[in-house]
Structure 1
Amino acid sequence: MIHWQLAQVMRFIRNMLPVFVILLSNLYMIFGAGLDTITVSQLMSDPETVTSNDGAFKLGFFSPANTTNRYVGVWYLTESNVIWVANRDRPLEDSSGVVTISNDRNLVVLNGKKQVVWSSNVSNIESNSTVQLQNTGNLVLLDSLTGKTIWESFKEPSDTFLPNMIISSNQVTRKKDRVTSWKNPSDPAVGIFSTSLDRLNVPEVFVWNQTQPYWRSGPWNGQVFIGLPRMYTSAYLNGFSVAREDDGTVSIAYSLPNHSFFGTIALSSEGRLVYSSWMNRRQVGKRVIYYSNCDIYGFCGAYGSCDPDKVPICRCLRGFEPKNREEWDKQNWTSGCVRKETLRCERSEASTGDGFEKLQMSKVPDFALQSSVSVDTCRTECLNKCSCTAYAYDAGIGCMSWRGELIDIVRFSSGGLDLYIRQAPSEFKGGRNMTSIIVVTVIVGAFLFATCAYFLWRWTSKRSARTERSPSLVLSIRETHPENRIAGLSGELEQVKIQDVPVFNFENIATSTNHFNLANKLGEGGFGSVYEGELKNGQKVAVKRLSRASRQGTEEFINEVTVISKLQHRNLVRLLGCCIEGGERMLIFEYMPNKSLDFYLFDPAKKSVLDWQKRFNIIEGVSRGLLYLHRDSRLRIIHRDLKPSNILLDAALNPKISDFGMAKIFGGSEDEANTRRVVGTYGYMSPEYAMQGLFSEKSDVFSYGVFLLEIVSGRKNSSFGNQEESLSLLGYAWKLWNEGEIESLIDPEIFNQENVEQILRCIHIGLLCVQELAKERPTMATVLSMLNSEIVNFPPPRQPAFIQRHTELQGESSHRSHESNSINSVTVTNVDGR
């Protein structure tokens, strides 16, 4: 009986199998659009969608804002993030459209009348094809038998550049891929702006306004586009690569650090490149990559230089004057500039009469010619060719030179290259005289120099002998008007006695630095330069030499000697001695082979050296150093200029706080002091200090909080522009904190699930340290306990300072700081306390 029933069941299944097959086929036809493929036997009708396997991308019908027209496109997560559009120039007027594979095996979009409004338009497709929406957002037409790609949307991009998409240009065929803007936010039709890879001998990204250049990135040097300084400091611009193939094809692509991140670069209908980023499929930012008038191609015309931080922003290069003075005065600068005096080689005279002026931190001009010669040969070749108007050198590119007009030069506050502009002899101090005059001058000068050197040697020897016999060093400084810095060592004298500080002989220090040779120069700060030296006993030292030309620094010099000579801690830089002879004032420090923290932290090519454990070690070391200054040393000291460039790294990347020129010593009962002379670096100053001149331990805590957020994010507090909807790193961090997206702040170089908890703890501490009110900030003792998990329950942070006032403070600055990656980068700004 059981066998008979089983036989009946099997017979029923065999009879019903065709019905099941037909039913499943129909269900696939109905619901198949929810999968990642379309086959010849199905179509996708409005409003159905096809979804990528990972669910991130969708192919479907959409209507832009302010219109009922229907388009077929691919978007990321939501229809507000459309990355590709099929029927850009032929919209559907109703919801009767379908997407299917046509009889000629192309992917097509049909309107309600079954007319083709868009096609992949590939000829001679030999076998059946299928369409797949891949996890990269690429829509591909595949050969059903071989799986070979017949057509792909990545090769016909709309307005968006995606990770793993390749944009190519060919030097031989002149064929190039272009990303094209929408006509306007409501119309995806091809607009007037496009972007492509051009100048293929030294590749650059260009944005074109129809056929005219609108913006360019500057040349690619193997790591960054040197005309885009934010690539040095912005993690979201990492991951780019440029490749060159044997057939003349040059291509650009970019990748993401891990699957948690996603980013797109879209060309807006206004001609701006906009970077949008997501983390764990939640949007964390939208940033305009360029935004000032200086970014507009040739805004200041030929031989004009554009500086967004100057007023007016356009100036003629040295040796040039406006071509049309009337238009220039009206701030219509496109007419550019002309040379005041013809070059010597243009007058058929010896070309060696011309020279070069160095323009630092510049976006080099367009139309560079490249050659693989040394920097010295680069200069010589340019000088020997009358048509050469400028040259620049980059280790990743080689020698770049320019012929004819120089256009689209921009000055940066950081990054860029040194550009050498050819100048007529008259533009240099003293000009060029006749050979006979030069010879006489050299002979007389040599005689006078030798005479002076002899007497100076005799005087120095006697003075050194007296100095070395002295048990202490007595410095004399002149007291001036309280609003000014001390400018000399004569006049009314106040003696400052510094004990227990070894005094070095000037001649020995000069010898140790190879007479302050440029090859020994480590960096340059606000009061002078720092040189690497080696004493007679083989010990390496760093020599901080106060500039004789500086009207600043004497007070800071004395202050630094006074303060640091009394401090001993493993996380503070050690002062070995000083030197004062004649007009020379120098400090001799222990040598730090790994320079300063900012040398690594803000350089995309170097920041990988600092993994999370190294960064946390630096955070903890700086914390202990500050705690020692505030509580554990025999003096209570407020540093007042804590920032990454003042954190030096030894051979093992251990941190040492440096530069105590701004430091203040507190008495035993003092907790707060007031000054009319506010010094330090904007972006790191606490609000009560910057606005009222009040400083305390909590002033350093605020600076430490900024430093902490910078080391976690890998971004400078000052690296944000108004286009990023945050005036500073503090504002950006606060925005992410409130939106529950604080993980997006983490530098991708250190993002790891194993470290996230500790990193988030540091971010929380950083936000507590930068709160508006000093009394709400923790002490350094509390910070250390938090870092070491001795305190578990943290209070919620309040809104940081300067979210609204950051721009105002920068506007009050008496001068702009230019920080360098050096052993003693110093930035001093004077503000009257209010």
Structure 2
Amino acid sequence: MEPFSIFLLCFTFSFHTLFMITTMAVDIIFMNQTIRDGQTIVSPQQSFELGFFSLRNASENRYLGIRYKRLATGTVAWVANRETPIRNKTGELTLRPDGVLALRDSTTDTIVWYTNTKGNAPNLVARLLDTGNLVVIDNDDDNERRENYIWQSFDHPGDTILPGMKFGWNFKRGIVTNITSWKSGDDPSRGPFIGYMNLDGLPQFYQNNGDLIQYRLGSWNGHAFTARPGVIPSSIYKLEYVSNEREIYIKFDYTNGSVLNRLTVTPSGITGRFTWVNRTQGWFLFSPFNADTCERYALCGVYGTCDSTQSTTCGCMEGFAPKSRAQWDISDWTSGCQREVALDCGVKEGFRKYRFMKLPDTRRSWYDTNMTIEQCNTKCRNECNCTAYAALDIKYGTGCLLWYEELIDMRVIPKYGQDIYIRMAASELALVFVEKHGTIADKDVLDLPLFSLSTLVVATNNFSINNKLGQGGFGPVYKGILKDGQEVAVKRL
């Protein structure tokens, strides 16, 4: 063979090899393909990378996971074998013909992690998306949203929720999505802190430290979660809550894809949204969920309210008093409060309106999405064991939420909190009308301001005959002067 022919042959072979390398889809693992330690696949826009890595002070342990690539390089978003690290660089990830991703330690020939679903499509691949989601799908599927997946990492998060990830329950697939903290910065195995959705009563989100509830994000009220009513969607931040017969979940997303955000529970139990700041090249904890004392679960006990703006953190609601004054005097509020006047299911029992509240724990609640607030009042009034009610959806003013046991884990949230109506004994209630032109307005009882009997006894000088304004179909009406000097007309039920 002539030298030129040899050169041309070598050049052709080299060009073909180079061409194959540069055009290979780097975001895909094909069927029967194996990714070994040192090799990676990268999402199309270089946002995320799947491969093997070690953690700071535990370099002998190797993990397979997804990390940020283009920005926040190296930040771990997901770990496959978080409980079973591989010693040294002997890991191999293979997509089997049945659609199962299997991670093998080649030294011991043992499977240390694998996906739990199978598929039978002829052209299955594993693909890393720019959302940070690793999916096993039929590569012939032209669904751009890639919803017809066999398996996806978004169904099995570790300590991080990424934008677009559904956090909750998928009844159709039998999947429950929780997040759990790492044990430490060098150990991604499951730590004690877990965030999850509870479906007892009205669904709501909790964070536990082991078996103990640490924090309650609450239920969805149409605008936001009841514990975070001031954090509502904006032009760049979208928050979606979905509840139907197939699934119940919460999902957050951002309209500006260049902004990196993640929701993470740290090894120390701090949960919040982290935003990447290019200027400092670091993550900024934007909105921690458990930032103040009042976010500790049930800090003030039953019928107690927490108010971080007051010198005394816990107090009893109007019409309630501490169960144990001695404990409250030493700032131990866990015993909570009790009614000053017990309920007896009398026909004149009514409801006192409390404003700007974080609604109580809803695990022992009942709800209806179609009822009006007036129907809600009637239903609760007619059931002796109903202790309180509130609107289910404050965005549209619809729906009914009822409680049937003692109320716990409440706090005052100035400006943004929600109204709740709590059942009270007849003797604890009085309707207060601001006198106008010497008459009493015939007015919807739900809109009337309500005060405790003790407040009105003082205001009317114990309903003195000298304060009596008159009597009619409404019964006796008394003039009262409140502490702020406001003159009111009072009818005692």
TM range (shorter): 0.7 to 0.9
Q: Distance in 2 between matches of 1:248 and 1:106?
A: 25
Residue pair 1:391, 1:401 contacting (<8 A) in 2 also: yes
Partner of 1:415: 416
Report the CA distance between 1:133 and its aligned residue: 1.0
Work out the CA distance in 2 between the residues paired with 1:201 and 1:174: 20
Aligned to 1:72: 64
- Structure of larger gyration radius: 1
Relative to 1, partners in 2 of residues 1:12 and 1:40: Cα closer, same or farther, differing over 3 Å? Answer: farther
For residues 190 and 167 of structure 1, do their structure 2 counterparts lie closer, same or farther at Cα, with a shift above 3 Å needed? same
- Cα distance change, pair 115–236 in 1 and its aligned pair in 2 (3 A): farther
User: Which of 65, 78, 84 lines up with 2:78 in the alignment?
Assistant: 84
Q: Per chain length, whose mean CA-contact separation is higher, i.e. which structure has more relative contact order (CA < 8 Å, sep 6+)?
A: 2
1:172–1:132 CA distance, 2 compared to 1 (3 A): closer
SS in 1 for 2:193: strand
1:260 maps to what in 2? Answer: 258
- Residue 361 (1) aligns with residue 359 (2): no
- 1:144-165 deviations in whole A, cap 9, x for unaligned? 4547522111111111111111
Question: How much does 1:54 deviate?
Answer: 0.4
Name the counterpart of 2:87. Answer: 93
Q: Is the 8 A contact 1:163 1:264 kept in 2?
A: yes
Per-residue deviation, residues 751-782 of structure 1 (Å, max 9, x unmatched): xxxxxxxxxxxxxxxxxxxxxxxxxxxxxxxx
CA contact (8 A) 2:372 2:398 kept: no
User: For the residues of structure 1 that align with 2:352 and 2:236, how far apart are their CA atoms?
Assistant: 32
The structure 1 segments of at least 4 consecutive aligned residues displaced by more than 6 Å after TM superposition are 15-18, 31-34, 171-174, 279-282, 440-444
Q: Distance in 2 between matches of 1:320 and 1:40?
A: 66
Q: Percent identity?
A: 32
Q: For residues 120-174 of structure 1, what are the alpha-carbon distances to aligned partners after superposition, in whole Å with 9 as ceiling and x for unaligned?
A: 2333645453221111111112334547522111111111111111223257998
- DSSP 3-state at the match of 2:231: helix
Aligned residue runs from structure 1 range 411-810, under 5 A: 411-428=412-429, 445-446=470-471
1:235-286 Cα offsets, whole Å, 9 max, x none, are 59931111233x3422221221222323111122333322112378965732
Structure 1 17/129 Cα, relative in aligned 2: closer, same or farther at 3 Å? Answer: farther
* Whole-Å separation in 2 of the counterparts to 1:132 and 1:261: 23
Q: 2:367 aligns with which of 358, 365, 370?
A: 370
Query: Residues 33 and 48 of structure 1 are in contact (CA less than 8 Å); yes or no, is this contact kept in structure 2?
Result: no
Could you give the per-residue CA deviations for residues 193-214 of structure 1, whole angstroms, max 9, x where no partner exists? 2223334764422223345433
1:49 corresponds in structure 2 to 40
The more displaced of 247-256 and 316-325 is 316-325
Q: Which amino acid aligns with 1:209?
A: N
Are the counterparts in 2 of residues 274 and 289 from structure 1 also a CA contact under 8 Å? Answer: yes
| TM-score, reference length from structure 2 | 0.75
Could you tell me how far apart the structure 1 residues matched to 2:24 and 2:192 are?
Answer: 35
Alignment check: 8 A CA contact 1:231 1:237 kept:
no
Answer whether contact 1:161 1:265 (CA < 8 A) is retained: yes
2:65 aligned partner, one-letter code = G
Measure, in 2, the Cα distance between the counterparts of 1:396 and 1:62. 51
The 1:173–1:59 alpha-carbon spacing in structure 2 relative to 1, beyond 3 Å, is: closer
Which string of whole-angstrom CA distances, capped at 9 and with x for unpartnered residues, describes residues 618-667 of structure 1? Answer: xxxxxxxxxxxxxxxxxxxxxxxxxxxxxxxxxxxxxxxxxxxxxxxxxx
Please identify which structure carries the higher strand content: 2
> Which of 20, 26, 30 does residue 39 from structure 1 map onto?
30
1:183-194 matches, within 5 Å, as 183-194=183-194
Q: Secondary structure at the match of 2:419?
A: strand
Structure 1 stretches lacking a partner, 5+ long: 448-546, 553-582, 584-834
1:175, distance to aligned residue in structure 2 (A) = 5.2
- 2:81 match: secondary structure: coil
Q: What count of residue pairs does the alignment treat as equivalent?
A: 432
Distance 1:170 1:106, change over 3 A: closer
Does 2:376 align with 1:385? no
Q: Distance in 1 between matches of 2:64 and 2:136?
A: 16
1:295 to 1:16, Cα distance in 2 relative to 1, 3 A: same
Contact 1:370 1:399 in 2 (8 A): yes
Closer, same or farther in 2 for the Cα pair 1:286/1:236, shift >3 Å?
farther
Alpha carbons of 1:224 and 1:397: their partners in 2 closer, same or farther (altered >3 Å)? farther
* Paired residues of 1:34 and 1:48 also in contact (CA < 8 A): no
Q: Evaluate the alpha carbon distance shift between residue 118 and residue 397 of structure 1 in structure 2; reply closer, same or farther with a 3 A threshold.
A: farther
Select 1:119's aligned residue among 114, 119, 123.
114
CA shift for structure 1 position 17: 9.7
Q: 1:146 to 1:550 in 2, by over 3 A?
A: closer
Q: TM-score scaled to structure 1, two decimals?
A: 0.46
Equivalent residue number for residue 304 of structure 2:
304
2:242 maps to 243
* One-letter amino acid of the counterpart of residue 238, structure 1: Y
Q: Which digits, 9 at most, give the CA deviation of each residue in 1:806-832, with x for residues without a partner?
A: xxxxxxxxxxxxxxxxxxxxxxxxxxx
